Structure 1
Amino acid sequence: MPSKKNGLDIIILGGGIAGLTTALALTKFAPRDQVPRIQIFEIRPEPATVGGAVNLTPNALRMLDHLEAYEVMKANNFGKHIDELEVFDNYSTKLAVSSFRGIDGKGIGSPPYKALRITRGDALKAVLEVLHRQDNITLTCGKKTVGIEETSDDVIITFEDGEIYRGDILLGCDGIHSITRLQHVDPQRKETYTGICNAFGFAPVGQNFPVHFDCTAMNFARRGMLLTSYHNPEMDSVYVGALMEVTDIGSRDGWKQVGGDAEKTRAELLSRFGDSSIPCIKPLIEQAQDFYLWPVFTLSKDGNWSTRRCMLLGDAAHAMPPQGESTGIVFEDTVILARCLARWIEKGKPGGDPKEAFEAYEKLRKPRIADAFEESQNVIRTVSDAGWFGHKIKTYVVPWYLWFTKGYREKHFIEDVTTSDIGY
């Protein structure tokens, strides 16, 4: 084991939200005299994120508050706070609401939080601002990993430019196409296409532009679901994002070509949602800018997350279709792993590797991820193509499902994994 006096040398592959928040959590929860030295390596030339706007649920905001990123979001007016998520039938009326108001209207949990719809880019900016304050964290971009070797004492990373780095621990936060997983931890566990695509853009709107929602609406149609949502306090832009069934293109290059054709994506959305009885749906699709389409991949439910010195986090370990809490689940990963590693250090366990901490983490996380995975399969079924009768069934099932699962969702919204019992 590395000297308790010196702390750990930790390498993180992946400079997206998962990698950056992992570094912050490891710093925040480390024993005071054991702050780790963390090196983050990102393959892209600068930190970036792919995707539109995400909903940060109360548990996600609670963790970001602990990591000091939520304060940055508020200070910069990033995102739009959400009281409730409204659910509509694309052809008739409102079906249901999912509220974040809590009992007294102030939010859920103690202290209370509501939800925040924020662009992925703004969320990344907030986390980066906090990261740059940390003297123990280094972020290096433009580094492509070509080799991972693990010994009894350390992990050795080789990059395409010939540079070599050593660490006590390697954390793979490098997404669904994770090099950490595919080259080292579980090479046989490859991503598969779900049959579902996400298409998104941002529609500029005037102050008097009429919409049918307070902040965020899910609009269910026969051939998919369209999310329409404000994402900034000015409410001068609406995020337009669809989940829909699309035939597999068959290659990453093919998906890039199709995904980059904004007008073809717009035409596809108009064909699926343009016949809506909700007046604003068609003009929002017509006005949306920079439309992009990307396939949703998933990993099998079971698989290896770790070796003796390497651990996968976020999509690298358990990528799944969007199911309402995806971003919050990643933040939970980072905090719980950081707490398990801190406890392992405090115990001063012999043996020279952190496998015991990894096992404690997996014991906590795998049941939670298994539940989320099953929920994600419901999402696939709900947004898949259906005829008139099948859609009619959806309009009855969706409100019932939201009512039936309300207790389950609020249980996780209230949970604070920064203080909860980790059983270790």
Structure 2
Amino acid sequence: MSVRHAEIVGAGLAGLTAAAALCARGWTVRVHERAAEMRAVGSGLSIFENGLRVLKAIGAEEDAIRQARRGLERETRDAQGRTTSNVRYATRMYEVTREQVLAALANAAERAGAEIVTSSEVVSVDKRGAITLATGATIKADLVIAADGVHSRMRDRLGVPCHRKWLADGAIRIMIPRTPAEVASPDGAKNIEYWSGHRRVLVAACSETELYVALTTLDRDYAAKSIPIDKGLWKASFPCLEGLIDRLDGDARWDRFQVVKLPHWSRGRVAILGDAAHAMAPNLGQGGACAMMNALGLAVALDEESNVPDALNLWERRERPLTDHTQRLSTFYSALTTWPGLARSAAFALIARSSWLRAQYLRTALCTPTGTVEPVGLKSRQPG
């Protein structure tokens, strides 16, 4: 059989994972990134057991979590800093910067033989398996992967109907240095979410030196979502975090949460991957993991089925149910932002008491992704 070739549009979590996984299975792969460099601004990333398994399967785990902070528990607190709930993680979890994970994936892809080309703009894609560059050059491939993000131009060029749901909330994300006191505090092993009405603040250390902070509020809360950050407003909402909020300087941006759903994840010889196919709110810490799981699952399906369109159908049938489930739960969590405080607290208490609800919440984190081996002694379930 001749060597098969893939062209990938987008060097994000999905595109780079797919590149590494396909190269490991004998494909030649070229990844196109329109930007001059791969960079994610001010963002932390929670990686649970399912994501760690994918990273290990493609040889990127060690680089991705080097010096990252191991998370032990998640806690919610009120505006005065009083604990309202505390749950220990049921799986391994590392909090790490998105930049570090991207670098680890790029290194793994290049070690496997992928070519990554920056400042390379793809302007169109053909469902028969071809891309056209801004230079006018057309490149044919056995497979094209559109992994160019939530506002995917390739998805739109293919004419795939996109149902986009804008959620009521969004977040300002920023990375700041950790103080010696924060490093020494027992809170350093926790992801802590503070609530004050419809506003919330997530504080999560990514390493000994980096702290990720996300300020979440409703999209209609214009003062709270403004850039530069209105520190006085946020300190008034969270008096217990005055010292932290005073340090929120540097690159930051507001992003409204949204959900993307497609009728199909592929058309012809083109697969649509990552946020381009199934963007979700980041409430469960599983958006990136779903992108990586589906990228690895795609490579496995193409290894099992030589006919590309048939392989893409197999891939979606196998992987989509878990992704749809994760989208639904992350959307529900965003809806809690609009609830009255007492109702929201009751919902959190119900989740804590109900084994069925906890199982739904943990279903994605505890799954064994396609193409990975289950670690000895860790019980998990197959996606679907």
TM-score computed with the length of structure 1 as normaliser: 0.80
Does the CA-based 8 Å contact 1:220-1:226 persist in structure 2? yes
Residues 251-281 of structure 1 show CA distances to partners (whole Å, capped at 9, x for unaligned) of xxxxxxx98x743x243xx424544353xx1
**Does 1:206 pair with 2:179?**
yes
Distance of 2:326 and 2:178 partners within structure 1: 35
Distance of 1:408 and 1:273 partners within structure 2: 35
Q: How does 1:325-404 map to 2 (within 5 A)?
A: 325-345=286-306, 353-384=307-338, 390-404=340-354
Residue from 164, 172, 189 that aligns with 2:162? 189
**Does 1:225 pair with 2:200?**
yes
**Does 1:176 pair with 2:150?**
yes
Distance of 2:382 and 2:50 partners within structure 1: 17
Does the CA-based 8 Å contact 2:201-2:213 persist in structure 1? yes
Percent of pairs identical after alignment? 19
Distance of 2:263 and 2:235 partners within structure 1: 38
Return the offset for 1:170.
Answer: 0.6
- Paired residue for 1:253? none
Distance of 1:121 and 1:93 partners within structure 2: 33
Return the offset for 1:67.
Answer: 1.5
Distance of 1:288 and 1:399 partners within structure 2: 31
Does the CA-based 8 Å contact 1:185-1:307 persist in structure 2? no
- What amino acid is aligned across from residue 300 of structure 2 in structure 1? R
- Paired residue for 2:376? none
**Does 1:271 pair with 2:233?**
yes
Root mean square deviation, CA, Å: 2.6
Stretch deviating more after TM superposition (399-408 or 124-133): 399-408
Residues 23-79 of structure 1 show CA distances to partners (whole Å, capped at 9, x for unaligned) of 112233x2xxxx0011111111122224510111111112111211111234x42x2
* Structure 2 counterpart SS, 1:290: coil
- Paired residue for 2:71? 82
Distance of 2:180 and 2:172 partners within structure 1: 25
Residue from 121, 133, 144 that aligns with 2:99? 121
Distance of 1:222 and 1:211 partners within structure 2: 27
Task: Rate the CA distance shift 1:248–1:383 in 2: closer, same or farther, 3 A.
Answer: closer
Residues 317-368 of structure 1 show CA distances to partners (whole Å, capped at 9, x for unaligned) of 01121131112111110111111111013xxxxxxx4111111111122221
Does the CA-based 8 Å contact 1:301-1:373 persist in structure 2? no
Does the CA-based 8 Å contact 1:10-1:36 persist in structure 2? yes
Task: Rate the CA distance shift 1:248–1:314 in 2: closer, same or farther, 3 A.
Answer: farther
Distance of 2:260 and 2:108 partners within structure 1: 34
Distance of 2:37 and 2:261 partners within structure 1: 32
Does the CA-based 8 Å contact 1:53-1:119 persist in structure 2? yes
Return the offset for 1:219.
Answer: 1.2
* Structure 2 counterpart SS, 1:413: coil
**Does 1:131 pair with 2:123?**
no
Does the CA-based 8 Å contact 1:196-1:296 persist in structure 2? yes
Does the CA-based 8 Å contact 2:124-2:154 persist in structure 1? no
**Does 1:158 pair with 2:132?**
yes
Return the offset for 1:202.
Answer: 2.6
Residues 82-136 of structure 1 show CA distances to partners (whole Å, capped at 9, x for unaligned) of 1111122224521222322x5xxxxx3xxxxx1010111111122122222122x
**Does 1:238 pair with 2:188?**
no
* Structure 2 counterpart SS, 1:165: strand
**Does 1:9 pair with 2:5?**
yes
* Structure 1 counterpart SS, 2:3: coil
Does the CA-based 8 Å contact 2:205-2:211 persist in structure 1? yes
**Is the radius of gyration larger for structure 1 or structure 2?**
1
Does the CA-based 8 Å contact 1:323-1:376 persist in structure 2? yes
Distance of 1:134 and 1:178 partners within structure 2: 26
Distance of 2:37 and 2:351 partners within structure 1: 41
Does the CA-based 8 Å contact 2:57-2:372 persist in structure 1? no
Distance of 2:77 and 2:87 partners within structure 1: 12
Distance of 2:150 and 2:230 partners within structure 1: 26
- What amino acid is aligned across from residue 11 of structure 1 in structure 2? E
Task: Rate the CA distance shift 1:172–1:185 in 2: closer, same or farther, 3 A.
Answer: farther
Does the CA-based 8 Å contact 1:199-1:291 persist in structure 2? no
Return the offset for 1:301.
Answer: 3.7
Does the CA-based 8 Å contact 1:11-1:170 persist in structure 2? yes
Task: Rate the CA distance shift 1:297–1:208 in 2: closer, same or farther, 3 A.
Answer: closer
**Does 1:413 pair with 2:365?**
yes
Unaligned 5+ runs, structure 1: 103-107, 109-113, 250-257, 346-352
Return the offset for 1:8.
Answer: 1.1
Distance of 1:18 and 1:317 partners within structure 2: 11
- What amino acid is aligned across from residue 9 of structure 2 in structure 1? L
TM-score computed with the length of structure 2 as normaliser: 0.87
Task: Rate the CA distance shift 1:179–1:20 in 2: closer, same or farther, 3 A.
Answer: same
- Paired residue for 2:54? 63
Return the offset for 1:291.
Answer: 4.6
Does the CA-based 8 Å contact 1:299-1:320 persist in structure 2? yes
- What amino acid is aligned across from residue 360 of structure 2 in structure 1? Y
**How many pairs are equivalent?**
369
